[in-house]
Structure 1
Amino acid sequence: MKVYDEKHIKNVVFVGAHNSGKTTLAETMLYEAKLINRRGSVENKNTVSDYHEVEHEKGNSIFATPLYTEWRNYKINIIDTPGLDDFIGEVISSIRVADTVLTILNGQHGVEVGTEIIWNYIDRYRKPTLFVINQLDHPAFNFEKSLQSIHNLVGNNVVQIQYPLIVSGSYCIIDILKMKMYKFSPEGGKPEKLSIPVEEKEKADYLHNELVEKAAENDEELLEKFFENNSLTEDEMRKGIKAGMLNHELFPVFCISALSDMGSGRLMGFIDNVAPAAADLGPEQSLDGREIKPEIDGSSVLLIYKTVHQSNLGQVSFFKVKRGQVTINDKLLNTRSGEVEVFNQLFIMDGKERISVSRLTVGDMGATLKLKATETGDTLSNPETEVILKPIQYPDSRYSMAISAVNNKDEEKMSDALKKISSQDPTVIVSYAKESRQLIINCQGELHLAIVEWILNNQFNIEVTWQKPKIAFRETILRSANANYRHKKQSGGSGQFAQVHMKIEPWYEELGEPEGFNIRGKEEIDLAWGGKLIFYNCIVGGAIDQRYLPSIMKGILEVMEEGPLTGSYIRDVRVMVYDGKMHSVDSNDISFKIAGAHAFREAFLNANPRLLEPIIELIVKVPEEMLGNVMTDLQSRRAIIQGIESRENFQILKCLAPESELHAYSTDLRSQTQGRATFKANFASYQPVPGNIQKTLVDLEK
């Protein structure tokens, strides 16, 4: 296959809400470029892009799929992404390596919630972006509504390249850049090029002048020419549009019918002629602040943006060449793991098809097999010039469940499978909760979790069960209490003997020293699970030898790791050991450890023990008209509203809510607001559980 240079490689990613037509457009572009002889369809499950079995079963895109096409001496790499925000990780990785983002809109609805979510990441990376309003031949198509929704999303830097028109029953597109009308037959395909009708000339001229002004604003030289001539040539307009896209200050708008192949060829021509190439983009920043320019003469730098585990191939690593080039048998250093990886094979990916190549240059994208120690987000570079690119940033998890294998013999196999799933999708985070002894899957939503289960069942032959994760409660006390415990055991020979007297009290910051005790020593322990244990040696007269005090404290800490109420960790207690007895023969460390543990447990139960629950700070972004329903729901979850701020057409609601009331909140919020609300959650503090709820929880543990 021909090797293209960085000026003739265009990397575009298709993003948009569910059912906007991304996969259909990708299929049509491959057909237009004659890389396929027949267009498949999502309904018939035969598109190049959606080839995974699970995508056929679920009826929608789940994975970002790399494709490529060649069009008029350019190579266009395409990544077709999912539209459901459960799979936002696939979208983010793809945006990270794209040169241009094509945001596809369903022309019946315009900008949808999924589009808004994706736009936040496009805007963060400041990627050149154009909007494509799809389904121009659908009876419910509404171009003006869709165009206005784009203005509402990105502001006044939207510029029309096209608008649709029906002439004598035929679908047409007025092209403002070329000042031509494209008239399509009912079958679509190559259009008839005509002059703009007289009745549309005034509107087209107005939009053309607006486009000229917008293009000129992005280049000083063009601006001077515009002031001199009051116009620009078509080539000058292309230059200005490209500059505006690179500055993330100009957003061209097209209209097409991907299904009927209307306008897709013109869109591909714009990608060729105007959309930025890899060479046009500015340098990337490495973690240490160096600029990584997209130049072929530099030492090689690759970014791994996607990993797939296939049963017949093993690990497939997808990458973009950020600098230099890569050839077969090259050895590059993984700057995270320190391993040198050998590129025994190189491919260009076209859906599930792999096309072998011997070399890929800067700006191009490809794949290789069986890298030993490389994961998504890693940088591979020439060993002599180590580079670490800024990692891909993924959103926090929104949904969690505890997982276990139906067959206990599959536990280890399941653990290995989950590592591969997490490697393939970094938004699936697997962790072990030591406190609850549960394996937890953190992901983006219920559908995301369902795909994890499908992969476990169908690719790894593992059946699993799910449980609601246990809440990490804490236990503490509200008042002081005394206890003493005598441990005595005689079984022939040396026995065991220890007696411990102690007082326990609640501890809080700035609490004064205990009164009425002769304090001879103090130890302050920051507990691994939060809070403190303050341990005082108040022994007088040698009632207990100094060497036994660490054993007493060890016994206390063992109880604190599994509290008497619910088995939760105990925190924020201070203990004064002030008396006791020992035996010259039978006393030993184990005896005082046992006595200390029993005395502490008894005192704890008599000190008005209180269960604490984790409180989460929620920040919910909700459309104004839906605020009331969201607030009512939160209050039913024992949330305390702390404040509300207005931001454009949204309300930002801040509140504190118990973690125990927030399981599946992302699903419920999505349902209440048709997916238009989003939220962030952060741990805030531990607070006492209401008495009636504490009684229920304690009774459950009995």
Structure 2
Amino acid sequence: MKVFDNKHIKNVAFVGTHRAGKTTLSETMLYEAGLINRRGTVEQQNTISDYHEFEHQRGASVFATPLHTEWRNYKINIIDTPGLDDFIGEIMSSIRVADTIVTVINAKHGADIGTEIIWNYVDKYHKPTLFVINKIDSEKANFEMSFNSLKELVGKNAVLVQYPIKLDGAQCIIDVLKMKCYKFGPEGGKPEKLPIPEDQLEYANMLHNELVEKAAENDEELMELYFDKGTLNEEELRKGIKLGMLNHDFFPVFCVSALKDMGTGRLMGFIDNVAPAAADLKPEQTIEGELIKPDLNGETSLFIFKNIYQPNLGQITFFKVMSGEVKANDKLYNTRTGESETLNQLYIMDGKQKHSVEKLTVGDIGATTKLKYTETNDTLAASPEAGTIKPIKFPQPRLVKAVFAENSSEEEKLSEALKRIHSQDLTVDLSYNNETHQTLVGTQGELHLSTLNWLLENIYDVKPRFEAPKISYRETIQRSATANYRHKKQSGGSGQFGQVHLKIEPYYEGMPEPEGFSLRGKEEVNLPWDGKLVFYNCIVGGVIDQRYLPSIMKGILEVMESGPLTKSYIRDVRVMVYDGKMHAVDSNDISFKIAGAHAFKDAFLNANPKLLEPIEQMELRAPEQMVGSVMTELQSRRAVIQGIETEAHYQILKCTIPSAELTDFSSQLRSITQGRGTYSTKFLGYNAVPTHVQKELVKQHELITT
């Protein structure tokens, strides 16, 4: 297979909302270039990119799929991405390694909410972008509406390069860069090139002048030429458009019918001749602060942007060559782990089809198999001391569930499957809660969760069960209380005896020492679950021997590990042991441990015990016209609004909210904001649970334990 340099490799990611036609467009481009003899369709489940069984079941892309085509001495690597932001991990990793983003818009709907959601990520990466308005031949197509909605989304930097018309009943595309009219037959394919019709000439000239003026703005030399000549030739136009795309302030707009193969060849020509290549982009930054330039003679450096598991092939690792070149059987080092990996074989992947190659050069995208220590976001380099390329920062999970194996004997099998899935999809968050003894899995939404469920059942052969996660509450007290407990046990021979008198009080940092006691010793225990136990020895007259004080504290700590209200951890209590009794023969450590535990529990229940709940600091982004509904929903979930800021057409709400209220919040927010609302949370601390909520939680716990 031919090897291309980084000036002749174009990496494009097809992004856009569900049903925009990305998969059909990529299939048509492969067909147009002669790499496939027959175009498949999503409906017939025979496209190159949507080859997974789950994608066939859903009738839509779920995984980002790398493909490639060759067109006029250029290699175009295409990554066909899903259209739903439940799979934002697949979209983000594709954007990360693409040189140009091709955003596909359905001409029947324009730049809709799904387009806006994905555009926010594209804009964040500041990648060169062009737009393709697809399905122009549809009866319900509205090109003008689609373009206007696009301008509302990205502003005046969206510039028409093409627009569709009908000529004698035939579908045509006017190209104002080349100033030609392309007329297509009923089945599309190669068009007839015609002069622009007279009735379109004035409008086409106006658009051409707008294109020239916008292109000239990106370079002083071009601006001078424009002032001198009043126009730019095609080569100068291409230069200006590329510079504008690299600056992320020029977004060319094309039109196609991917299904009928109308305009795809011209789009491929533009990608070849104008769209930025790997060599045009800025050097990659490493976490060490160094730069990795796209240099063929540089030290080999690969960035791993995707892993996927296939039953017949095992794990397939996808990478982009950031510097140098990689050859089959090369030995490289994982800069995160220091482990060496041998790339026994190199492939170019077209869906599930793999094409073996001997080497890949800087700027190219390829794949390999059977790597042992390498995961998504890793860097493979010629030296273990080489820089680590900055990783993709994936969003927090929006939906968290506790997961169990339906068959308890398969828990270990489930754990291994989840670890493998997480290594392939870093938006699947995996953790274990030591308090609730639950494995927690976080996803981007219900559809993402259903995909996880399908993978576990069909690929890893383990049936999972998902539940709402338990909340890690805390217990504490609100007032002081005293108690005493006598432990006495006689069963022949040496017995057990210990009596403890103690007082407990709520603890807070900086509080004065207790009054009315003779303080003989003090121990502060920083609890593993946060908070403190402050233990005072106030014994006088030797009524309890010093050696039994540690046992009393041990008994108290055991109770604090499982509080009497809901079996939650107890925190922030101070205890004064001030009296008691012992027996010369029957007293021992276990007696005072038991006596201390019972006395503490009795005092705790008399000290107005209070449940504390975890509180999250939330930052929520929502369209300004929907903020009222969002605030109503937040307040119904006991959130406290702290402030609102404005950002373009969005508002940023900052608030605190109990963790217990987030169980189904993601789905509700998506419904209220039509998918446009996003949020992030960060653990803040613990606050007291309202009395009515506490009563319900204690009642639920009593029902569970009885």
Q: Note whether the superposition's TM-score is higher than 0.5.
A: yes
Q: How does 1:64-79 map to 2 (within 5 A)?
A: 64-79=64-79
Residues matched between the structures, number: 702
**Which residue of 2 is the match for residue 223 of structure 1?**
223
**Which residue of 2 is the match for residue 263 of structure 1?**
263
Distance 1:498 1:178 in 2: 98
Distance 1:401 1:476 in 2: 27
Q: CA deviation at 1:448?
A: 0.7
CA 1:570–1:168: 2 relative to 1, 3 Å: same
| Structure 1 residue 378 corresponds to structure 2 residue 387 | no
Distance 2:372 2:122 in 1: 32
Amino acid at match of 2:664: A
Q: CA deviation at 1:639?
A: 2.9
Q: How does 1:472-491 map to 2 (within 5 A)?
A: 472-491=472-491
Question: 32-41 vs 679-688, which deviates more?
Answer: 679-688
Indicate conservation of the 8 Å contact 1:477/1:506, yes or no: yes
CA 1:477–1:228: 2 relative to 1, 3 Å: same
Question: 188-197 vs 390-399, which deviates more?
Answer: 188-197
Distance 2:687 2:90 in 1: 38
Q: CA deviation at 1:487?
A: 2.6
- Secondary structure class of the residue paired with 1:539: coil
CA 1:491–1:336: 2 relative to 1, 3 Å: farther
Deviations 1:567-590 (A, max 9, x none): 111122122222233344444433
| Structure 1 residue 548 corresponds to structure 2 residue 548 | yes
Distance 2:298 2:585 in 1: 77
Q: CA deviation at 1:494?
A: 4.2
| Structure 1 residue 625 corresponds to structure 2 residue 625 | yes
**Which residue of 2 is the match for residue 661 of structure 1?**
661
CA 1:571–1:290: 2 relative to 1, 3 Å: same
| Structure 1 residue 42 corresponds to structure 2 residue 35 | no
TM-score normalised by the chain length of structure 1: 0.97
Distance 1:112 1:105 in 2: 8
Distance 1:467 1:224 in 2: 66
Indicate conservation of the 8 Å contact 1:417/1:460, yes or no: yes
Deviations 1:127-158 (A, max 9, x none): 11111111111122222222222222222222
- Secondary structure class of the residue paired with 2:578: strand
Q: How does 1:431-442 map to 2 (within 5 A)?
A: 431-442=431-442
Distance 1:419 1:433 in 2: 16
Amino acid at match of 2:399: Y
**Which residue of 2 is the match for residue 694 of structure 1?**
694
Distance 2:222 2:124 in 1: 28
**Which residue of 2 is the match for residue 499 of structure 1?**
499
- Secondary structure class of the residue paired with 1:349: strand
Distance 2:140 2:513 in 1: 75
Deviations 1:391-432 (A, max 9, x none): 111000000111111111111111111111111111111211
| Structure 1 residue 602 corresponds to structure 2 residue 602 | yes
Q: CA deviation at 1:85?
A: 0.8
- Secondary structure class of the residue paired with 1:231: coil
Question: 268-277 vs 541-550, which deviates more?
Answer: 541-550
**Which residue of 2 is the match for residue 360 of structure 1?**
360
Q: CA deviation at 1:168?
A: 2.3
Question: 689-698 vs 41-50, which deviates more?
Answer: 689-698
Distance 1:387 1:650 in 2: 38
Q: How does 1:465-476 map to 2 (within 5 A)?
A: 465-476=465-476
CA 1:550–1:218: 2 relative to 1, 3 Å: farther
Indicate conservation of the 8 Å contact 2:335/2:384, yes or no: no
- Secondary structure class of the residue paired with 1:24: helix
- Secondary structure class of the residue paired with 2:580: strand
**Which residue of 1 is the match for residue 27 of structure 2?**
27
TM-score normalised by the chain length of structure 2: 0.96
Distance 1:663 1:451 in 2: 19
Q: How does 1:128-527 map to 2 (within 5 A)?
A: 128-383=128-383, 385-527=385-527
Q: CA deviation at 1:203?
A: 1.7
Indicate conservation of the 8 Å contact 1:479/1:608, yes or no: yes
Q: CA deviation at 1:366?
A: 0.7
Indicate conservation of the 8 Å contact 1:99/1:278, yes or no: yes
CA 1:474–1:231: 2 relative to 1, 3 Å: same
Indicate conservation of the 8 Å contact 1:107/1:141, yes or no: yes
Amino acid at match of 2:37: N
Q: CA deviation at 1:364?
A: 0.6
Q: CA deviation at 1:680?
A: 2.4
- Identity, in percent, stands at 65
Amino acid at match of 2:488: K
Q: CA deviation at 1:100?
A: 0.7
Indicate conservation of the 8 Å contact 1:242/1:276, yes or no: yes
**Which residue of 2 is the match for residue 105 of structure 1?**
105
**Which residue of 2 is the match for residue 58 of structure 1?**
58
Deviations 1:14-65 (A, max 9, x none): 1111111110101110110111111111111110000000110111111000
Distance 2:474 2:599 in 1: 20
- Secondary structure class of the residue paired with 2:317: strand
Distance 1:83 1:631 in 2: 28
Question: 213-222 vs 406-415, which deviates more?
Answer: 213-222
Q: CA deviation at 1:503?
A: 1.1
Distance 2:53 2:300 in 1: 36
Indicate conservation of the 8 Å contact 1:299/1:385, yes or no: no
Indicate conservation of the 8 Å contact 2:403/2:440, yes or no: yes
Deviations 1:580-607 (A, max 9, x none): 3334444443333322222211111111
Amino acid at match of 2:340: V
Question: 543-552 vs 75-84, which deviates more?
Answer: 543-552
Question: 483-492 vs 13-22, which deviates more?
Answer: 483-492
Question: 517-526 vs 470-479, which deviates more?
Answer: 517-526
- Secondary structure class of the residue paired with 1:518: coil
Question: 493-502 vs 115-124, which deviates more?
Answer: 493-502
Amino acid at match of 1:292: I
Distance 2:145 2:617 in 1: 37
Amino acid at match of 2:320: K
Amino acid at match of 1:548: Y
Indicate conservation of the 8 Å contact 1:341/1:371, yes or no: yes
**Which residue of 2 is the match for residue 530 of structure 1?**
530
Amino acid at match of 1:330: D
Distance 1:495 1:337 in 2: 58
Distance 2:309 2:547 in 1: 57
Indicate conservation of the 8 Å contact 2:48/2:352, yes or no: yes
Indicate conservation of the 8 Å contact 1:473/1:612, yes or no: yes
Distance 2:574 2:613 in 1: 20
- Secondary structure class of the residue paired with 2:471: coil
Q: CA deviation at 1:476?
A: 1.0
Distance 1:547 1:109 in 2: 79
- Secondary structure class of the residue paired with 2:576: strand
- Secondary structure class of the residue paired with 2:63: coil
Amino acid at match of 1:669: L
Indicate conservation of the 8 Å contact 2:334/2:384, yes or no: no
Q: How does 1:554-593 map to 2 (within 5 A)?
A: 554-593=554-593
Q: CA deviation at 1:257?
A: 1.1
Distance 2:593 2:117 in 1: 56
- Secondary structure class of the residue paired with 2:519: coil
Indicate conservation of the 8 Å contact 2:338/2:384, yes or no: no
Distance 1:102 1:468 in 2: 39
Amino acid at match of 1:70: E
**Which residue of 2 is the match for residue 90 of structure 1?**
90
Distance 2:588 2:238 in 1: 87
Indicate conservation of the 8 Å contact 2:530/2:571, yes or no: yes
Report the RMSD for the aligned CA atoms in angstroms: 1.7
Question: 203-212 vs 317-326, which deviates more?
Answer: 203-212
- Secondary structure class of the residue paired with 1:46: coil
Question: 652-661 vs 581-590, which deviates more?
Answer: 581-590
Distance 1:587 1:296 in 2: 81
CA 1:382–1:513: 2 relative to 1, 3 Å: same
